[in-house]
Structure 1
Amino acid sequence: MVPTTIRWTEAGVPRSARWPAESAAPPPRRVVPADDRMRADTAYRLACEGTALLWRGDFPGARRLLRAMDRRVARKPPRPGDGPADAFHQYRRARGHRARVLGRLLVLLEDGYRLDLRRAPDVRRACVEAYGPPSGPTLVPLTGLLGAIGAHQWRVKGVEVPALGARVHPHYGVFSPVRGEYVDLVAHAPLPPGARRGGTAFDLGTGTGVLAAVLARRGVGRVVATDISPRALACARENVRRLGLAGRIDVEGPGLFPGGRADLVVCNPPWLPARPTSALELGVYDPGGAMLRDFLAGLAAHLRPGGEGWLVLSDLAERLGLRTRGELLSGIEAAGLRVAGRIDTRPRHPRAGDTADPLHAARSAEVTSLWRLAGR
């Protein structure tokens, strides 16, 4: 992806800056300066009309304005929808509108990603991790910058994974293993005989590498971890080194299946067949269920005799009317597979108990399953 150059005039002086290709928001067509003198109602109106606001006040003031704009967005919640699927699409449209409006409050990063706002933090390292090496002045949405800062903090401190007894350090744009139920399923499901005797496992769509590490710690002799994302591959390699598992885990890609066959093939694809709107959403949304479909289609050809494929999948898509259980079972059968068993667990994340969430009914009833698949 090639960054776009944004041009605007400020105090009669022509200005320009790059718009990073990594940004989830489209580049603005019109940019006007803004500071503490601008009222939140005015900022919200301009942002809704498509005008981007280049913040020139202090950094805490920018965050206050962002919160005020967010409160105004929240005054128009998504309508309930006619059934779960329509409610989901209304929710996604509302989330998209919120992202567009809030994404029009911008900050300018000078050479070297220096943020020249009063009381601003040092964001240089976070920006390098998110946007790549600096290349002149860069305009970014404040929401994106805050996301980059948060991702850097997660990367530094890591996420505690009880199944490993260690921390995993997610990178920017790589889904963080904060939902422990799917990790626990892989940590406790009975291994197929070949894997139990120190055989080979594949971890497809490895992300941070957390499931590959769990399998290696369980005694699988060799684990091959793959991903289509270069960011995820770099993240997984770093975590494998941190955990002292470089001799047991090979990280390969970009791609889904590695060459050869394995005693165990694990895949935890994105759970919802919908279009992601940012890099972080790639861990949740899978357009058309493509990764799930490709996993099922390729599994039988990559299993050793007696091997199993573990599909770790939430039923949230079914509860939202985005996919039926029949479609999933038909896909398994069409791939020449059979269900050898299934282990279920309930979600423990806070959103399952959030009654204000428009999707609360589906989230509170959600079940995450490890499907044990074998060849017919």
Structure 2
Amino acid sequence: MDRPRRPTTSPFEFPPGAAFTWHSESDEPAPTRLSPVDDGLSADTALKRVRRGEFLRYTGDFHNAKQLLGALGRRLERPWQARTPLEAFRAERRARQQEHATLSRIVVALDRGYRLDLARAPDVAEACRQVWGEPTEDFTVVPLKQLLGMLGAAEWRRKGLAVPGLKGLIHPHYGVYLPTRTDYVELLAAVPDVNGQRVFDVGTGTGVLSFLLLQQGAAFVQATDCDSRAVACARENAERLGLSQRFQVTEGDLFPEGKADLVVCNPPWIPEPPKNRVDRAVFDEDSQFLRRFLEGLPAALNPGGEGLLILSDLAVLLGLRPPGWLEEQFERCGLTVVWKESTPARHSKAKDKADPLHAARSREITTLYGLVPTTRRE
């Protein structure tokens, strides 16, 4: 570990038993006891203590705290060599869950101004206010790993992210799916003329699909998302891009009220239970969201309207869905595929042979389906 330096300001006092606000993305209950630890704690000892159920409040040096997290992660059991993609997926999820359960017990305390009580700590106040708003207690306690994620997200939000085909930058918020996988975004270039169309964007996230369609000539987009953070993110991005007059977003589970000429959706693609709030952008237990989207799509379309579904086939490659399942859902919901466009995965994990799921991810295909009610084809 680095040799700790003297803090530039004295750390605040965090009295034993003090009331605090607890923040956890996985809705874990607040710890009833916090054990203060410092730079003298070894990774082996920390691992034994957290496995006994302790929450360790780090009070030493910020850089040493980060190194402790890394050392703990390296001591965790890695997924074994699996015989099938499904076994590999199950093992990888268990490993990630164990990692979260272990590392989230290394926590830090913040004061009323969101000042981090560690030597050499960066200023975290802006990142905290962006996610939580103003504090309601004198102290806030958060897993260090989560706080590091918030700092990284604040930097993405400050700098912005370039997206192929979009004029301007997307500024993602913490907890909102980051559109770094551009294959699904680039598929929108295949969409026929959208000039003058009214669009619904279901599960908008950062709003990136809405903004691409608006820049392609759509008249208006009404977007929804079930997460309040995504709603705030999409609204801010629309203002930054000068599109707020033609874009509206509301918090909702599925479709907005009314009907649209075009309905676009890039749903979660893994039919498994999410483990935390962030997971909901990727995991859709028993395909409930996708099923309900397809069931409600015909009623959400104006006469002559069309639905656009963007979906990866990774669930099939992993053995989580049988081949042909999606086509069966189209038929069940009275939908016909009138055209489709596909692209192989180009994200980094598809090329990483060390990734436990490389066998499936290297063959992943993402497809944009153009859907209309079957009655129109008869």
Normalised by the length of structure 1, the TM-score is 0.92
**Given the superposition, is the C-alpha separation of residues 125 and 104 from structure 1 closer, same or farther in structure 2, using an over 3 Å criterion?**
same
Distance 1:343 1:59 in 2: 48
Distance 1:118 1:252 in 2: 42
CA contact (8 A) 2:108 2:117 kept: no
Gaps in structure 1 of 5+ consecutive residues? 1-9
Structure 1: which amino acid aligns with 2:158? V
Q: 1 CA distance for matches of 2:189 and 2:221?
A: 14
Shift of 1:339: 1.0
Superimposed CA distance per residue, residues 191-242 of structure 1 (whole angstroms, 9 cap, x where no aligned partner): 4xxx34x121111100111000000001111211111111111111111111
Q: Which residue of 2 aligns with 1:351?
A: 349
SS state of the match for residue 149, structure 2?
helix
| The one of 282, 299, 302 aligned to 1:301 | 299
Q: Which residue of 1 aligns with 2:70?
A: 67
Whole-Å separation in 2 of the counterparts to 1:14 and 1:326:
57
Match of 1:255 among 253, 264, 273: 253
Alpha-carbon distance, 1:23 to partner: 5.4
Post-superposition CA distance 1:136-172 (Å, at most 9, x none): 2011110011011111111111111121131101111
| Residue 145 in structure 1 maps to residue 143 in structure 2 | no
Q: CA RMSD in A?
A: 1.8
AA in 1 matched with 2:144: L
- Indicate yes or no: 2:60 matched with 1:57: yes
Greater Cα shift, 11-20 or 337-346: 11-20
CA distance in 2, matches of 1:320, 1:60: 38
Residue 19 of structure 1 corresponds to 22
1:234 is matched with: 232
Cα deviation per residue 1:277-309 (whole Å; 9 max; x = unaligned)?
Answer: 222222111112111111100001111222211
| Contact kept in structure 1, 2:272 and 2:286, CA below 8 Å | yes
Q: For residues 142 and 302 of structure 2, what CA distance do their matches in structure 1 show?
A: 49
Q: How many angstroms apart in 2 are the aligned matches of 1:60 and 1:336? A: 57
Q: Report the structure, 1 or 2, having the larger strand content.
A: 1
Moved over 6 A (4+): none
CA pair 133-11 structure 1, distance change in 2 beyond 3 A: closer
Aligned equivalent of 2:7: none
Which position in structure 2 is the counterpart of 1:116? Answer: 117
1:96 alignment partner in structure 2:
97
The 3-state SS of whatever aligns with 2:337 is strand
**Matched AA of 2:124:** V
Offset of residue 130 of structure 1: 2.0
Q: Aligned partners of 1:283 and 1:277: how far apart in 2? A: 11
Kept after mapping to 2: 8 A contact 1:23/1:140? no
Q: Give the CA deviation at 1:178.
A: 0.8
CA distance in 2, matches of 1:211, 1:241: 15
Q: Distance in 2 between matches of 1:86 and 1:325?
A: 18
State whether structure 2 residue 266 is matched by structure 1 residue 268. yes
**Residue pair 2:108, 2:141 contacting (<8 A) in 1 also:** yes
CA distance in 2, matches of 1:270, 1:14: 41
Q: Name the CA shift for 1:26/1:79 in 2 (closer, same or farther; >3 Å).
A: farther
The aligned length equals 361
TM-score computed with the length of structure 2 as normaliser: 0.91
Mapped partners of 1:56, 1:343: distance in 2: 54
SS in 2 for 1:344: strand
Q: Secondary structure at the match of 1:342?
A: strand
Residue 41 of structure 1 is matched in structure 2 by 44
CA contact (8 A) 1:28 1:50 kept: no
* Partner residue, 1:7: none
Q: Distance in 2 between matches of 1:123 and 1:157?
A: 17
How far does residue 104 in structure 1 lie from its aligned partner after superposition?
Answer: 0.9
* Mapping for residues 77-226 of structure 1, pairs under 5 Å: 77-136=78-137, 137-191=139-193, 195-196=194-195, 198-226=196-224
d(CA) in 2 for partners of 1:14, 1:66: 25
Does the 8 A contact of 1:113 with 1:138 survive in 2? yes
Say yes or no: does 1:280 pair with 2:282: no
CA distance in 1 between partners of 2:51 and 2:280 (Å): 26
Residue by residue, what CA displacement relative to the aligned partner does 1:172-196 show, whole Å, maximum 9, x if unpaired?
A: 11111111111111133224xxx34
Q: Which runs of 5+ in 2 are unaligned?
A: 1-12
Kept in 1, the 8 Å contact 2:157–2:171? The answer is yes
User: SS state of the match for residue 134, structure 2?
Assistant: coil
Query: For the Cα contact (< 8 Å) 2:22–2:142, is it kept in 1?
Result: yes
Find the residue that maps to 2:245 and give its secondary structure: coil
In the alignment, the residues of structure 2 paired with residue 342 and residue 159 of structure 1 have an alpha-carbon distance, to the nearest angstrom, of 28
CA spacing shift, 1:50–1:23, aligned 2, 3 Å: same
Tell me the amino acid that sits aligned with residue 42 of structure 2: R
Q: Distance in 2 between matches of 1:12 and 1:173?
A: 31
Task: Give the Cα–Cα distance (whole angstroms) in 2 for the partners of residues 288 and 84 of structure 1.
Answer: 19
Counterparts of 1:166 and 1:92, CA distance in 2 = 36
Paired amino acid for 1:185: L
Q: Are the structure 2 counterparts of residues 134 and 346 from structure 1 closer, same or farther at C-alpha, using a change threshold of 3 Å?
A: same
